[in-house]
Amino acid sequence: MDAKRLSRLHDLGITPWVLRHASAAQPARPRPVGESHSAPLAVALTVQPTLAADARASAVAAMDWAALRAAVRDCTACGLRAGCTQTVFGVGDEHARWLIIGEAPGADEDRQGEPFVGRAGQLLNSMIVAIGLKREQVYIANVLKCRPPNNRDPKPEEAELCRPFLERQIALIAPKIILAVGRIAAQNLLHTDTTIGRLRGTVHRLGGVPLVVTYHPAYLLRSPGEKRKAWSDLKLAVRTVQESGQ
C-alpha cells in the first residue's frame, strides 16, 4: 500500500486494510482494439419537454455519448435548468468498472460543471483512493444534472424527468458496481423511501448491476464518527466486484 493511499485511509479515520485479491482494485478495463461505443450521431438530438415521456425515454436510450451530452446540455424538461448556471453531466472513465452516483450538483458543482468538487469531493476522492483506484478510473454522476435552488432535495418529478439521462449513462458505461452515495441518491435510484440505515449493508440491483449504498461525503464531514460505516460499505462493494469474478 503506497503512502498516498495510507494517507487517504487516515483521512477516513480507518485502519489500513489490504485487498486480498488484486483483481478487486483493477483499473478500468482497457478498451479492446476495434471496440467502440456507438458512433457519434451527426446531429445531436435535443430532447424537448413536449415529447411524451415514453418517446423521450426511447430517444435518450438510443443516444451515444455525444448525443447524450448535447441532450443534457440543452434540456429544459424541468424547471431546474432555468435556475442553475450550467448542467453537470458527469465525469470520469466512460468504461469504468465503478460508477458513483450522488444526488444533485451543489454550489461548487454548479459553478465548475463537475460533480463532487469542494470538500465533499475531496473526501470522495479519498474514499476512491482507499479502494485502490483514482478518481479518473471511476465515473461520477448525479441523479439530477441541474442544481436545485438552495440545495433543496430533488422533487420526484424532477428526478423522473432526469432519470433517462442517468439510465443511458449506466447503459453506456456498463459498470460492475454502482455506489449510491447519500440517502437521496439511494432512494431515487431504488424507488424507495426506506432509510439509508436500512439500505446500507445489502447488495441491491439496478438494471442488473449490483448497487451498494453508503453515506454522502458531505454527511461524513459533518459526522466523522460514521466514516467507519462508510468504509464497511466500500469493503462490501469491493467484495461484490471480487465475487462477480470480473
Contact residues: ligand SF4, CB under 6 A: 72, 75-78, 80-81, 87, 144-146, 158, 161-162
State how far the Cα of 206 lies from the Cα of 124, in Å rounded to an integer: 22
Q: Do the beta carbons of residue 139 and residue 93 sit within 8 Å?
A: yes
Q: Whole-number minimum distance, CB 33 to ligand SF4, in Å?
A: 35
Q: What are phi and psi of 140, to 5 degrees?
A: -125, 130
Please state whether beta strands 98-102 and 209-214 pair in parallel, antiparallel, or not at all (unpaired). unpaired
Q: Whole-number minimum distance, CB 156 to ligand SF4, in Å?
A: 12
Closer to ligand SF4 by CB, 16 or 49: give it: 49
Task: Indicate the burial class of 16 (C-beta count within 10 angstroms; 0-12, 13-18, 19 or more).
Answer: exposed
Q: Whole-number minimum distance, CB 172 to ligand SF4, in Å?
A: 16
Q: Whole-number minimum distance, CB 66 to ligand SF4, in Å?
A: 16
Closer to ligand SF4 by CB, 69 or 229: give it: 69
Closer to ligand SF4 by CB, 93 or 110: give it: 110
State how far the Cα of 229 lies from the Cα of 192, in Å rounded to an integer: 21
Q: Do the beta carbons of residue 72 and residue 165 sit within 8 Å?
A: yes
Closer to ligand SF4 by CB, 74 or 226: give it: 74
158: CB partners within 8 A, 6+ apart: 78, 79, 80, 144, 148
* Cα→Cα distances 156→116, 163, 184, 189, Å: 22, 10, 10, 11
Closer to ligand SF4 by CB, 67 or 241: give it: 67
Q: Do the beta carbons of residue 151 and residue 107 sit within 8 Å?
A: yes
Closer to ligand SF4 by CB, 159 or 220: give it: 159
Closer to ligand SF4 by CB, 83 or 224: give it: 83
Q: How far is CA 71 from the centre of its chain?
A: 19
Q: Whole-number minimum distance, CB 52 to ligand SF4, in Å?
A: 15
Q: Whole-number minimum distance, CB 14 to ligand SF4, in Å?
A: 35
Q: Whole-number minimum distance, CB 59 to ligand SF4, in Å?
A: 13
Q: Do the beta carbons of residue 59 and residue 51 sit within 8 Å?
A: yes
DSSP-derived 3-state class of residue 34: coil
